[in-house]
Amino acid sequence: MTELSSKARSNPVEAEKELAELQKFLNSLKERGNPGTEKAIDSMKRYFVSIKSRIDSGKKQQELIGQDAAPLAVTHWANGKPLTAADLKGKVVLLDFWAVWCGPCVATFPHLIEWNEKYADKGLVTIGLTRFYNYEWKNGKHTKGKDVSKETELAMLESFADHHKLPYRFGLQDKSKMSKYYGVSGIPHAVLIDRKGKVRLMRVGSGPANAKAISDMLEKLIAEKG
C-alpha cells in the first residue's frame, strides 16, 4: 500500500493500473459473501479515494512539465515587496507551496535558505506560496486563532520569517488558483520554472531525494540562458 501511494506521484499511469487491479481483486473477494471480508474491503474505500486523488494530481503534474507557468495570482505579500510578472521575466523561479503548521515544510527551510544564498544573485527568485489559515504570533511562536484578521496574519508571517531567518517573500494566493494549476494535493510542493517561463520540475514532500532533485535542476536552470 505504501509503495502504491508513493508511485501515485512518481509514476501515476502505472499506479492507476495497479489500483484498478487491486480494486478488481478485492471486489472478487467481496462477491464471495464473507461478512468479515466485506467489512474490511469497505473500510478501504476512503484509502482508494485518497490514492486516486494522488494519481490524478501526479498525472496533472507530469503533463505540466514543459508547459507555461501559471500566471502570478497573489493577493497579499509578506516578508518583501510585492512581485509582478515583469519581475519574474528571465528569472529562474522556485515556488514553494507551504503552510506554517506543516512540519515537513519547515524541514525544507535549510535547503531553501541555502539555494537562495547560492543563486539569488544569479537569477533565482524564490516565492513561498501559502494562504490565510487564521494564525497569529503569540509568545514567540505561531498560534492557531479564530477570526484572525488578514493584517494580523500577515504580521505573523513577518515574525515567522524572521524567526526562521527566511530571506524570500511569501505570497498569499488568490483563491488557491496557483495550487489548482499545479495540482497541489500535498505540501511542501516545489515547482521549478526556467528563464523562459516553462515548468521544468515538480516535487512533493521533503527528504534527501527531493532536495537533491531540486538542487540538481536548479544548478542546470541557473546555467541555462534565457
Give the per-residue pLDDT at 106.
98
6 pLDDT higher than 80: no
Give the per-residue pLDDT at 26.
77
Rounded CA separation 207/215 (Å): 12
Q: What is the DSSP string of the chain?
A: -HHHHHHHHHSHHHHHHHHHHHHHHHHHHHTTT-HHHHHHHHHTHHHHHHHHHHHHHHHHHHHHTTSBPPP--EEEEESS----HHHHTT-EEEEEE--TT-HHHHHTHHHHHHHHHHHGGGTEEEEEEE---SEEEETTEEEE-SS--HHHHHHHHHHHHHHHT--SEEEEESTTHHHHHTT--SSSEEEEE-TTSBEEEEEES-SHHHHHHHHHHHHHHHHS--
Residue position matching grid coordinates 501559502: 130
* Percent of the chain predicted with pLDDT > 90: 69
35 pLDDT higher than 90: no
Query: How would CATH label the architecture of 74-223?
Result: 3-Layer(aba) Sandwich (3.40)
Q: For the chain, which residues make up each domain, given as ranges?
A: 2-64, 74-223
Count CB atoms within 10 A of the CB of residue 134. 14
pTM over 0.75: yes
Rounded CA separation 166/153 (Å): 17
- Whether the CB-CB separation of 4 and 22 falls below 8 Å is answered with yes
Give the per-residue pLDDT at 182.
94
Rounded CA separation 207/10 (Å): 15
Q: Strand 124-130 to strand 199-204: parallel, antiparallel, or no bridges (unpaired)?
A: unpaired
Rounded CA separation 225/19 (Å): 42
Give the per-residue pLDDT at 161.
98
* Mean pLDDT within 40-60: 79
Q: What is the pLDDT of residues 108-141, one digit of tens each?
A: 999 999 999 999 999 999 999 999 999 999 988 9
* Mean pLDDT within 141-146: 93
